[in-house]
Amino acid sequence: MESNSALTAQEVADMLKISKNTVYELIKRGEINSYKVGRKVRFALSDVEEYIFRSKNLQSIAPSVENERLKINTIQSTPELCGKGFVICGQDVTLDVLSNYLGQYFKGTPVLRSYIGSYNSLIGLYQGGVQVASAHLWDGDTGQYNVPFVRRLLPGIPAIIIHLTCRMQGFYVAKGNPKNIKTWSDLKRPDISMINREKGAGSRVLLDEHLRLLGIYGSSIQGYTRESQSHFTVASTVGRGEADVAVGQEKVSSQVNGVDFVPLQKERYELVVRKEDFRTAQIQTILEILRSKEFKEEFRGIGGYDTCEMGNIVAET
């Protein structure tokens, strides 16, 4: 998708996981640029991506899921978050809902969201700037999710890994998969171009690990260095014919026009906390929330989320 591609309000709402009315509120407050074609409001992709870049690092949780991305402060260095509240890192909507639930229990302590990828979430936990990191990082040598990375990125820090959900990762391809893209090795074909996720994102690590195992250098793949920080953006890019393939989670493919999904690997999406914090009221409350029927019901109707193991302790490192 080109940076000047025209997006509708609904497409922007889908990308940001908010309602269309909230998009109009962002326009009124001058938080996102737009323009008109006749009486229709349109958005340039570059303006939407700029808004995402500005807003993805930190947000105070609003009282409803619909308003989750409205009050956001950008902090470049994760350690600066220390003392500002209880911070949960990650980009999935499950974490927004979890933060909203947690905020109802702890009125005096702000529950904050940091919208950074898995790798940087663990770095933030190591540096002491956040209390809960999320990760879906696959290790190609062991076939394990998260545990090997927690051990590497949190040296000397005992940690506990809590299961959140399982999701399906795979390829976003054009409707009908006209180029018959089915395996990781297909990415090296000269007739295929891709759009990539940013370094540190779980989908990017999954791709890079498979390429490493196949002996394929990313530099040999057309479009490998073209990056975006959103599942919706990479899927939309494929749907609009500006790339042939991208890596992402299944649920997003059902929300983007012109895209099919090629399932490749079931991933484990999990929370990581310091062991010394495990008995704190906030972490124990998170466990109660995750194990509650009410919280699980939030996602059973959405699709794309497996709640069977939600709240289970996966490992201690």
Which pLDDT tens digit goes with each residue over 56-107? 444 433 333 333 333 333 333 344 444 567 999 988 888 988 988 898 888 7
Place of tokens 């250098």: 217
Q: What is the pLDDT of residue 53?
A: 60
b/e for 290-307, b at 16 or more Cβ within 10 A? Answer: beeeebbebbeeeebbbb
Q: What is the pLDDT of residue 242?
A: 93
Q: Which of 43-52, 79-88, 115-124, 151-160 has the lowest mean pLDDT?
A: 79-88
Which residues are paired to 112 by β-bridges? 60, 87
The pair of structure tokens assigned to 12 is 């922007």
> What dihedral do alpha carbons 11, 14, 16, 18 form, nearest 10°?
120
Query: Is residue 152 over pLDDT 90?
Result: yes
DSSP 8-state code for residue 95: H
Q: What is the pLDDT of residue 81?
A: 45
Q: What is the pLDDT of residue 11?
A: 85
Contacts 24+ apart (CB under 8 A), 144-149: 145/267, 145/268, 145/270, 146/268, 146/270, 146/272, 146/314, 147/314, 147/315, 147/317, 149/118, 149/119, 149/122
Taking alpha carbons only, the member of 238, 105, 74 closest to residue 170 is: 238
pLDDT in tens, 96-140: 889 888 988 887 778 888 888 899 999 999 999 899 999 999 999
Which residues are paired to 222 by β-bridges? 193
Q: What is the pLDDT of residue 58?
A: 40
Contact 1, 233 (CB under 8 A): yes
From CA 241, how far away is CA 45, in angstroms rounded?
Answer: 15
Taking alpha carbons only, the member of 266, 276, 255 closest to residue 17 is: 255
| Better-scored residue on pLDDT, 74 or 164 | 164
Arithmetic mean of pLDDT over the chain: 84
Q: Which of 25-34, 97-106, 238-247, 267-276 has the lowest mean pLDDT?
A: 25-34
Angle among Cα 46, 226, 267 to the nearest 5 degrees reads 105
pLDDT in tens, 225-251: 999 877 888 998 999 999 999 999 998
Angle among Cα 317, 247, 98 to the nearest 5 degrees reads 50
From CA 103, how far away is CA 299, in angstroms rounded?
Answer: 19
Q: Which domains does the chain have, with CATH numbers?
A: 6-166+268-316 (3.40.190.10), 168-266 (3.40.190.10)
b/e for 112-139, b at 16 or more Cβ within 10 A? Answer: bbbbbbbbbbbbbbbeebbbbbbbbbbb
